[in-house]
Structure 1
Amino acid sequence: MKITWKGKFDGNEDSLPHGEHKPNAVKFKEINDIKKLGLILNLLSVPLLAVTYAIVLLRGGFDAIMEHFYVYWAGILVALACLIPHEFIHAICCRKEAYIYTNLKNGMLFVVAPEKMSKSRFIVMSLMPNLVFGFVPFLLYLIFPQLGFLGVLGATSIPMGIGDYYNIINALIQMPKGAKTYLYGFHSYWYLPEERAAQTS
């Protein structure tokens, strides 16, 4: 597979890579305006961040955190540094080509991969970097509270995946069994392969 770093998204959806558009594909019911989407997702990440940080505080204890404050700050800095590796993990999960874009004005980084995926592979692709940088370190911290660095790394990284959770929820709710999904420009679509459509008709 090939990964291409495209850098800053120019705001023109037509400039994004486009694959084959299936005539029977159904567009996902999702927020179409990228500015509105970025704003809503960033706002939703705030209460999630508050919850994960509260868990870190309760598990580690205020005194212990104050005593090793620099360790916790390191966790925050590493989480921020993982923003781009986060996107590379998404890209690695794709089989063909993947293009990485930044849209920092709207607080977003994203991958465009014009290939078709099953629901399960799409969910794994969406969730993988959040497991690596978020949930696994966070779980290790809950088991071993002395690992404060991992606790804050996970607590910071989990809310950063809010856009991925949004995509996963859309796939779970909207895609029927046997459907495949793909990106066309900035929008997600799903469709039933011909053999599956014939079975359900």
Structure 2
Amino acid sequence: MKLHYRGKYNLDPATLPTCKHQPNAVKFKEVDSTKELAVIANGIAIALMILLAIPVYLKYKGLLFDYFDEMMVGAMLPLLTMFPHELIHALCFKEDVYLYTNFKQGLLFVVGCETMSKHRFIFMSLLPNIVFGFLPYMISFLGIQYLTLAVLGVIAIGMGAGDYYNVFNALIQMPKGARTYLYQMNSYWYIPEK
């Protein structure tokens, strides 16, 4: 993998690196714009964070004000994981990967042109969310002193909503043996010719 930092994303998908389309490629049935994706991802994120906060509240309910500082640290840590989150995605690629930012729009993402199997795509999509979200969240239930990890986990899991959207689409749309690749801001799948 070779990482290329491309700077601020100008919201024009035509400026993203692309590869040629594979024979018989099928575009995922997914949203076509970053604005539509933001609406879906934000809805998923809010729902997930509310659901995940309920067990945390039940575990720590009498102590939340005693550990307010820990909660604030946990709420700020996800901002520090944004860049490493994208680097973990990038590490799952074998070829060139391009990193873009647009903090005004709340965007930070990587794009690669290579094709990958359904399983590798799902792994690539979920790995940063496991590392920064699900693991801290699960560890937080080991003891009272882990409230910071609980808050980090809840927020980091919510921040991965766009990744879950991609995984959902891959699971329901890609047939067995299919491979996927990105073209601009959309995913495509195809069955390799033998």
Same fold, judged at TM 0.5 (above) = yes
Instruction: Give the TM-score, by structure 2 length.
Output: 0.94
Partner in structure 1 of residue 65 of structure 2: 66
* Distance of 1:123 and 1:159 partners within structure 2: 17
Secondary structure of the residue aligned to 1:149 is helix
Secondary structure of the residue aligned to 2:90 is helix
Partner in structure 2 of residue 22 of structure 1: 22
For 2:92, give the aligned amino acid.
C
Q: How many residues align?
A: 194
Equivalent residues in 2 for 1:82-97, closer than 5 Å: 82-97=81-96
Q: CA deviation at 1:125?
A: 0.3
In 2, are the aligned partners of 1:38 and 1:106 still within 8 Å (CA)? no
Gaps of 5+ in 1: 196-201
* Distance of 2:25 and 2:69 partners within structure 1: 51
Q: CA deviation at 1:53?
A: 2.0
Matched, 1:164 2:153: no
In 1, are the aligned partners of 2:23 and 2:190 still within 8 Å (CA)? no
Q: CA deviation at 1:105?
A: 4.2
The share of aligned pairs that are identical, in percent, is: 47
Q: CA deviation at 1:78?
A: 0.8
* Distance of 2:40 and 2:165 partners within structure 1: 11
* Distance of 1:98 and 1:55 partners within structure 2: 38
Partner in structure 1 of residue 50 of structure 2: 50
> C-alpha deviations, 1:133-168, integer Å up to 9, x for none?
000010111233431111111011001000000000
Q: CA deviation at 1:20?
A: 2.7
**Structure 1 range deviating more: 39-48 or 76-85:** 39-48
In 2, are the aligned partners of 1:42 and 1:107 still within 8 Å (CA)? no
In 2, are the aligned partners of 1:175 and 1:190 still within 8 Å (CA)? yes
Equivalent residues in 2 for 1:114-153, closer than 5 Å: 114-153=113-152
Secondary structure of the residue aligned to 1:67 is coil
In 2, are the aligned partners of 1:39 and 1:106 still within 8 Å (CA)? no
Matched, 1:2 2:2: yes
* Distance of 2:105 and 2:42 partners within structure 1: 9
* Distance of 2:143 and 2:123 partners within structure 1: 27
* Distance of 1:111 and 1:92 partners within structure 2: 10
**Structure 1 range deviating more: 167-176 or 17-26:** 17-26
* Compared CA separation, residues 39 and 104, structure 1 to 2 (3 A): farther
For 1:82, give the aligned amino acid.
T
In 1, are the aligned partners of 2:3 and 2:90 still within 8 Å (CA)? yes
**Structure 1 range deviating more: 169-178 or 6-15:** 6-15
Partner in structure 1 of residue 12 of structure 2: 12
Partner in structure 2 of residue 186 of structure 1: 185
In 2, are the aligned partners of 1:3 and 1:91 still within 8 Å (CA)? yes
> C-alpha deviations, 1:94-139, integer Å up to 9, x for none?
1111111124444332210100000000000000000000000101
In 1, are the aligned partners of 2:137 and 2:151 still within 8 Å (CA)? yes
* Distance of 2:106 and 2:124 partners within structure 1: 21
Gaps of 5+ in 2: none
Instruction: Give the TM-score, by structure 1 length.
Output: 0.91
**Structure 1 range deviating more: 126-135 or 9-18:** 9-18
